[in-house]
A and B are shown apart, each in its own frame.
Chain A
């Protein structure tokens, strides 16, 4: 098992390299660079432009060098922990990202836990009581959840919350805790605000997971080994968890890898609607203004998160199924 994890981690190195190249290419793809966007902006504000100054800025930020030189310069800095400087914010990228990444992660993890904690028991229930009233009810709710766009759900919940409590559930903290130092009360306050984005971001995933869990388990319940386990005198509950459930979890576990990045996508709309200080709005801004160091770093971090998610799901899979341990 340990050697499986080590091999798996080693395999991540070349993947990360490829990811960094792709990130860089994506950032470079649109014509022009930050200076062009900057000039545009100055022109709009009808300010005077000194071409010599623009050129010297280009030189200072290394924008004049050929792309491969800029790539390796960028990669080298990243490896030293320097993500570069955001041209738009005029701040170190690392500082911008570290200020927002924890909130993105908190929302991702919370919605992930929400989705799995809800989907697995419901899937289990629906499969063991197929075509019961409960199964139909969950199926209906699941499909509605799957079909509702995140931002619409966010708006609806905001409205209901406002009507019910008179408060606006925007942001991650109440006003009195916004800049307060960390304390137990502040954590509680965070949790009070976190559920809303978690529900908004997690709902679509929950509905999908319920279907996956239900279908898998229905397949597994018909397998001969379930009848064998029954013939040994095991009780239905123990049998269900030990045998078919574990196998049915296999495809669910393999979705963990791609759940993390989709949560970040889902987080964008939710963050815009709910006004959350997360990575996603920052990323959109960086892309719009061709702030390459910031955008590149965010792409790198999101891709790395995907890889970490995949690693995590592979480890869970190997733990669930001994046949996978030998692979790779």
Chain B
């Protein structure tokens, strides 16, 4: 996989929200690379900064949020652009949004505007990024809808989103994101809002499309099963930090960070016979306004080392090929 060219490199990204209650450090020092055609999973509990990381890449962070440090380099045709430096309303970033990097959102119900047909909303993005007539754009939209498995795309294209089922809406959402053949697709909880049976179909679809179109994929989810299905590599986030990243098979086989271990243990397994005791991580995520000192996870960590974990932020430690972890347990001195 690593022979493929580097597509996007995020280095020490920090995005904070400024409000009357204080500063919310939603993302606080996250680094990762994505190579062309690769699938990266970003996992963590709600509020750990996964979605804000994705919004930072597209520079669509809600209005109180601001990228305070870091670089996001997009590499196209050998040229690197730092997205953080671009004007978030400017022409350059708007060409990248929807064109080079597209996004699938969590709630297909809320993500489509209810007052325009899905055809209107899909052809809009096609006409923004491709030179074509309205009828050509419509043809391409129908083609894309067919490709994502939408039944009767010629008719469905004129349907309003409220007339479609959740699964069809999510398919339409995927078709809209893919309609300009992006080099990178960011899927923010693509299956959270749809039925379990539809989930499998959507995952299957995304896997096929990723393979066929050769695009890179970032999947943001709290569902580790989705990651095992779609991703080559995984990054685990906790309170805005990337606590561990590794190839997917390594994470599932040999997790290092106590949080990753806990996360994997808390996934219920469907099995025969024995009923399984769930093993949740103790405690709950601290308020993001009052982040613990030192390692953010020390308040819930089973391997907590007094006077170390609650004092010092652990450094990022390279354990093996592409396996990095932020934990004092692995500091060698």
Residues of chain A whose beta carbon lies under 8 Å from any beta carbon of chain B:
222-225, 227-236, 242-243, 246-247, 320-323
A-B pairs, top 8 by smallest CB distance, nearest first, are A233-B98, A232-B98, A233-B97, A224-B110, A233-B94, A232-B125, A225-B113, A231-B103
Given contacts A321-B114, A323-B114, contact A233 B105 (CB under 8 A): no
B111 and A228 within 8 A (CB)? yes
| A235 CA to B91 CA, complexed, in Å | 8
| CA of A127 to CA of B103, assembled, Å | 27
Distance, CA A286 to CA B207, complexed state (A):
78
Q: How far is the CB of B94 from chain A (nearest CB, A)?
A: 4
A322 touches B112 (CB 8 A): no
Residues of B within 8 A of A225 (CB): 110-113
Q: How far is the CA of A117 from the CA of B37 in the complex (A)?
A: 52
Query: Contacts A227-B60, A227-B105, A228-B105 hold; do A233 and B95 have CB atoms under 8 A apart?
Result: yes
With both beta carbons as reference points, the residue of chain B lying nearest to A225 in the complex is identified as B113
Closest CB in chain A relative to B164 CB, distance in Å: 13
The complex places the Cα of A227 from the Cα of B88 at a distance, in Å, of: 13
Q: Is the CB of B110 within 8 A of A231?
A: no
Q: Does B89 contact A (CB under 8 A)?
A: yes
Bound form: Cα–Cα A233–B88 in Å:
10
B187 on the A face (CB < 8 A)? no
Assess whether A243 is in contact with B128, with CB atoms less than 8 Å apart.
Answer: no
Residue from A228, A235, A242 in contact with B94 in the complex, judged by beta carbons closer than 8 Å: A235
B105 — which chain A residues lie within 8 A by C-beta? 224, 227-228, 231
- Rounded to whole angstroms, the CA-CA distance of A244 and B115 in the bound complex is 10
Q: Is the CB of B89 within 8 A of A236?
A: yes
Inter-subunit contact A322/B115 (CB<8 Å)? yes
Q: Which of A222, A224, A246 has the most CB of B within 10 A?
A: A224
Which residue of chain B lies nearest to A319 when distances are taken between CB atoms in the complex? Answer: B115
Q: Does B227 contact A (CB under 8 A)?
A: no
Chain B residues within an 8 Å CB radius of A247: 113, 115
Q: Are B124 and A234 in contact (CB under 8 A)?
A: yes
Q: B58 near A: Cβ within 8 Å?
A: yes
Chain B residue with Cβ nearest A243: B113
Interface residues of B in 96-149 (CB under 8 A from A): 96-99, 102-103, 105-107, 110-116, 124-125, 128-129
* A-B residue pair count with CB separations less than 8 angstroms: 67
Known: A224-B105, A225-B110, A227-B60. A233 touches B99 (CB 8 A): yes
Q: Closest B-chain residue to A220, C-beta based?
A: B113
* CB of B190, distance to nearest CB on chain A (Å): 13
A233-B99 Cα distance, complex, nearest whole Å: 8
Which of A223, A228, A233, A321 interacts with B129 by CB under 8 Å?
A233
How long is the Cα–Cα vector from A223 to B125 in the complex, in angstroms? 19
Considering only CB atoms, which chain B residue lies closest to A244 in the complex? B113
Q: Which residues of A contact B94 (CB under 8 A)?
A: 233-235
A-B contact pairs, 15 of them (CB 8 A): A225-B113, A227-B105, A228-B103, A230-B60, A230-B97, A231-B97, A231-B98, A231-B102, A232-B176, A233-B98, A233-B125, A234-B124, A235-B94, A247-B113, A323-B115
| CB-CB contacts below 8 Å: B232-286 with A | none
User: With a CB–CB cut-off of 8 A, which chain A residues contact B116?
Assistant: 242
A178 and B126 alpha carbons, distance in the complex (Å): 60
**B103, A235: Cβ atoms closer than 8 Å:** no
Residues of A within 8 A of B129 (CB): 233
Are A233 and B111 in contact (CB-based, < 8 A)? Answer: no
- Tell whether B304 is near chain A: CB-to-CB under 8 Å: no
Nearest A residue to B117 via CB reads: A322
On whether the beta carbons of B112 and A232 are closer than 8 Å, the reply is no
